[in-house]
Amino acid sequence: MVAAGVLISGAGTNLQAIIDQIAAGRLACTLRVVISNRAGAPGIARAVRAGVPVRVIDHRAFARREDFDRALLDVLREAGAELVLLAGFDRLITRTLIDAFPLRIMNIHPGLLPAFKGLDAQGAAQSYGVKIAGATVHFVDEQTDHGPIILQGAVPIGPDDTEAEVHDRILAVEHEIYPAAIQFFAEGRLEVEDRRVRVRGPRPAVTASLVSW
């Protein structure tokens, strides 16, 4: 059982996917705290319904990113978090937080990294005309959407698909692979060699969307 803290800024659908997998007994994780940098984030209500403690820390109250991250770190340590999960968190984190949780901060990105980094990865992939898009779970380092890749899942994109259809298709993959990556971490099965992340032991049955370990 791994103790985790979750950082959110918006709807919190990946937070909900994690909550649902824990409730179903398929994820050996306990959520110690959910931190939002935005007081109006809908994801806060999801945490409250699940009985997870919530803290709101407005990034605008801090002159420097490092000061904001130090405030996050204080709350995470107070909650006893061993793993930090970025779930739609819209702030770039600094070494203040990264050095405190080396290879213990995960992020879910709605693109097949290293392609389409940054915001609106789904729209960028569709505009570019790629035939396959997807999502990536990776460890966080000091560069944006750059750290070692844990899992990736892919979906097809048709020429007539709407942006909403592509968004929803990728989001469904996110909800599958993020809890899976957390479970591998909880079981101590992730081995990092430079940029390569290996999953030790047997691999569970998954849907066809999972294309890379």
Active site residues: 109
In 10 A of CB 21, how many CB atoms?
Answer: 20
Q: How far is Cα 171 from Cα 11, in angstroms, rounded to an integer? A: 12
Which amino acid, 153?
A: G
Contacts of 142 (CB under 8 A, 6+ apart): 94, 95, 98
Contacts of 36 (CB under 8 A, 6+ apart): 7, 8, 9, 43, 44, 54, 55, 56, 57
- The DSSP bridge partners found for residue 120 are none
DSSP 47: H
User: Comparing C-alpha atoms, which of 4, 68, 60 is closest to residue 30?
Assistant: 4
Q: How far is Cα 95 from Cα 105, in angstroms, rounded to an integer? A: 12
For 16, list phi and psi in degrees, rounded to 5: -65, -40
